[in-house]
Amino acid sequence: MNLDQVELGSPYRVCVVNAPKGAPQMKGQLEDIGFLPGEQVTLLRKGLLGKGPYMVRIGASTFALRESEARMISVECYLHA
Amino acid sequence: MPESKVHFFSSEPIVALLGNPNCGKTALFNLLTGSRQKVANYSGVTVERKEGRLTLDSGKNIRILDLPGAYSLYPRSLDERVTCNVLLGRAEGEKRPDLVVCILSAMNLRRNLRLVLAAKRLGLPCVVVLNMLDIAQRQGLQIDTVALSRELGLPVLKSIGIQSNGADEIKSFLSNLDWRNLSALQTGTSDATLESVASHIAHTESDNVLVQKILQNLKLDQIIPDQLSDRLDSVLLHPVFGPLILIALLFCIFQAVFSWATLPMDMIKTAIEYFANQITEILPNNWVRSLLINGILAGLGGVVIFLPQILILFFFILLLEESGYLPRAAYLLDRVMGSVGLSGRSFIPLLSSFACAIPGIMATRSISNSRDRLVTILIAPMMTCSARLPVYALLISAFIPEKKLWANIDLQGLVLFLLYLAGILGAMGVAWVLKRFTSEQFRMNALMMELPSYHLPRLGNLVMSLWQRAEIFLRRVGGIILIMTIALWALSSFPLPPEGATGSPIQYSLAGMLGQALAHIFSPIGFNWQISIALVPGMAAREVVVSSLATVYALSSSSADAAEALIPLISSGWSLATALSLLAWFVFAPQCLSTIAAVKRETGGWKIPIIMLSYLFGLAYLASFITYRIAISLGLA
């Protein structure tokens, strides 16, 4: 499951970041700001009509991500971890 | 042959402040150095370099460098590249720091600690500072600094960036340090190089595991949400109310910028007229007097007159920035900006451009993506700056009848609104066209913007930042505007008119000749030779066109009511089609040379300013041509 499909307000865990072929640097960029395996992530807010940008809590910080960026982040339910 | 540079460095030790963005680093820097700060640029790049001085209790002076905020030591943005290069001792003209102070936000240890681990690998002596301890304590977070220090193998100091004595522990630590032998704070070899991609990935994983372990050992692995910020966000970022609040806020800021600035601007104008009159009385009527009044005094006036508006606008922008709202405004606008290939980050530079394009162009530094930054610079001059207002006011009051339309809407006001709108739509259109012509690879512009917790802004920090912006504006731009005004004065004054000449003196000057030549180019869009001449000195600043027109029409230009005297002259002399065409010209034309000079400075070359000059000229000519032809076909000639 990717971060753009999760339920609003529920905690998840980051599994891995999958950058698209055309932009491999996005993986490192997302990891640098905290999207690392095992970190707790919550989708806090979507824009009008459920579109982006998304407001995401990763660890203790909050980031705005575009839909395409959220789609790169693979997550799993918090309880399964 | 490339010139080899020799740098002399003072013997005072350099302490570099390193930290994630939003860790309170700049507030601590202000506490440590007070007003003893120098703001400049790093050699060769437009990244701001802030250095300050601290005198220790022992009487020793040290230099403190506030490095640009970085998420990691693997450079991804211009800011991060500068930070890495300085820490590795590879930045041009910079001495490698003697000590690195890693500033951590106590509220966000997991991400901040990864930066400490990366900094330790550099082999420089390191100290850790735990900042924002007051907020952490309020939220019930207890951090055992002794245990943290043991885990990291480095001293850990405590600080509160928003209390006037909050940096005292750092100061006393630095005072008691043996500066000749810092090896106790060093954990690796000192010949570190930039990490390769592979080793960065490996380190990211191992660091993450280590940080998790440290947090578990300190019993800090739970996450405490910032409830106040979350509650504020539920209103301020609400999908419906959020944008409405933003629009209301912007409306108030604009009202304030234009209404609060009126008084100081009038005072500046009066003062300049007073000096001009004094000079007129003292000196005989010759070119020296003209140089003093129309060159130097007008140039100084042109610099200072926009300062009130710029300062008020910057005050609000800084207020929003300090409070944490600014990235949220960018968040709210990201989708609109994204539709033309930009991101929400371009919003602030474009907003500033409504006062003057120059501070707007300077503000593009906060845009990390270089393509976005260039596009923003290119479209910034199309935002209606306040220098266009006097020209719009003159033309509208001369040609647009004062009448009410349906719903009591004022026709003159409507035209003014349409001119603002035309600029915005033109800018969006150009950005959209540039998006179509940018290859997919460069278009992958990321948002990934941190939304920090809300903070109450501190007046001291606000005043200091405002002072620095004003100083930068005066120093970097003031000189350019002054020189341009004097150069254009010379162009419009020499050669002097021959004996017994009947026309106004400007007709016989170089600017006059240039204008008469330009009249051939401009006649298809309806400009007469008087307008063409007035546009030449108008290159100094747009509002100069009004007084230049008065000069061309041989009115006494020193009188403040040149515009009022001009209205009957031009409304009987020009066709409505010409006036509309001139209005369209002013929406797009690359009118002021200072903006072009600012673009050259910010982009480090002539390529972008030349592109900007030519495309804006083409666009303005096209817009005027279409306007003029349509107006003529409607029988407005």
Q: Assess if residue B545 is contained within a domain.
A: no
Rounded to whole angstroms, what are the CA distances from A77 to A5, A41, B393, B561? 12, 10, 62, 72
Give the mean model confidence (pLDDT) for residues A26-37. Answer: 88
For chain B, the straight-line distance linking the first and the last C-alpha, in angstroms and rounded, comes to 62
Q: What are phi and psi of B85, to 5 degrees?
A: -60, -40
Answer yes or no: is pLDDT of B608 > 50: yes
Q: Which residue has the tokens 């740098």?
A: B7
Instruction: Report the distance separating Cα B533 and Cα B283, nearest Å.
Output: 28
pLDDT at B603 over 60: yes
User: Structure tokens of B219?
Assistant: 């019993």
Integer Cα distance of B147 and B150 in angstroms: 5
Q: Cα distance from A67 to chain B (closest Cα, Å)?
A: 10
Identify the CA nearest to B453 among candidates B236, B233, B242, B245: B233
Q: Is the pTM of this model over 0.95?
A: no
Residue B243, C-beta contacts closer than 8 angstroms, at least 6 positions apart: B332
Task: Tell me the domains of chain A and their CATH numbers.
Answer: 3-77 (2.30.30.90)
- Do the chains contact at A60 and B446, CB–CB below 8 Å? no
* Residue pair B96/B89 in contact by the 8 Å Cβ criterion: yes
Residues in contact with B545: Cβ distance below 8 Å, sequence separation at least 6, in sequence order: B391, B534, B535, B537, B538, B591
Give the 3-state secondary structure of residue B283. Answer: coil
> Stretch B272-290: mean pLDDT, rounded?
86
Q: What is the pLDDT of residue B557?
A: 46
User: What angle do the packed helices B389-399 and B544-552 form, to 10 degrees?
Assistant: 50
- Roughly what angle, to the nearest 10 degrees, separates helices B607-633 and B593-603? 140
Task: Report the DSSP beta bridge partners of residue A65.
Answer: A54
Instruction: For residue B110, list chain A residues with Cβ-Cβ distance below 8 A.
Output: 34, 39, 59-60
Instruction: List the single best residue of A61, A67, A71, A78 to mutate versus B (max B Cβ within 10 A).
Output: A61
Note whether residue B591 is domain-resident. no
Cβ–Cβ contact A38 with B under 8 A: yes
CA distance B213 to B206: 11
pLDDT, position B181: 80
Expressed as residue numbers, the domain containing B59 is 14-224
Q: Answer whether residue B264 is part of any domain.
A: no
Give counts: helices (H), strands (E), chain B.
29, 8
pLDDT band at B381 (very low <50, low <70, confident <90, very high): very high
Tokens read off for B304: 């200072």
**A-chain residues near B239 (CB < 8 A):** 46-49
Answer yes or no: do A52 and B335 touch at CB < 8 A.
yes
Contacts of B451 in chain A (CB under 8 A): 55, 62-64
Beta bridge partners of B130: B104, B158
For residue B83, is it within any domain? yes
Alpha-carbon distance of A12 to A34, in angstroms, equals 14
Which residue from B352, B356, B379, B355 is spatially nearest to B366, judged by alpha carbons? B352
A13 in contact with chain B, both atoms CB, cutoff 8 A: no
Q: What DSSP string describes B509-573?
A: SHHHHHHHHHHHHHGGGT--HHHHHHHTGGGS-TTHHHHHHHHHTT--TTSTTHHHHHHHHHHHH
φ, ψ of residue B196 to 5 degrees: the values are -80, 165
Question: Any idea what DSSP says for residue B44?
Answer: T
Quick check: B6 pLDDT over 60?
no
Nearest to B270 by CA among B291, B247, B301: B301
Contact between B451 and A59 using a beta-carbon 8 Å cutoff: no
Answer yes or no: is B196 within a domain. yes
- B591: closest CA among B547, B546, B627, B540? B540
Can you say whether the dihedral through the CA atoms of B56, B60, B65, B69 is positive or negative? negative
Rounded to whole angstroms, the Cα distance separating B290 from B283 reads 10
Residue B579 belongs to some domain of the structure: no
> Alpha carbon of B240 to those of A48, B114, B231, B320: distances in Å?
7, 38, 16, 20
CATH number for the domain harbouring residue B160: 3.40.50.300
Instruction: Give per-residue pLDDT as tens, B457-508.
Output: 888 888 988 888 788 777 766 777 778 778 878 888 888 777 777 777 777 8
Q: How confident is the model at residue B559 (pLDDT cuts 50, 70, 90)?
A: very low
B387 vs B526, higher pLDDT: B526
Task: Please report whether residue B80 resides in a domain.
Answer: yes
Instruction: Report ipTM (2 d.p.).
Output: 0.92
Residue B552 placed within a domain? no
According to DSSP, residue B69 is labeled P
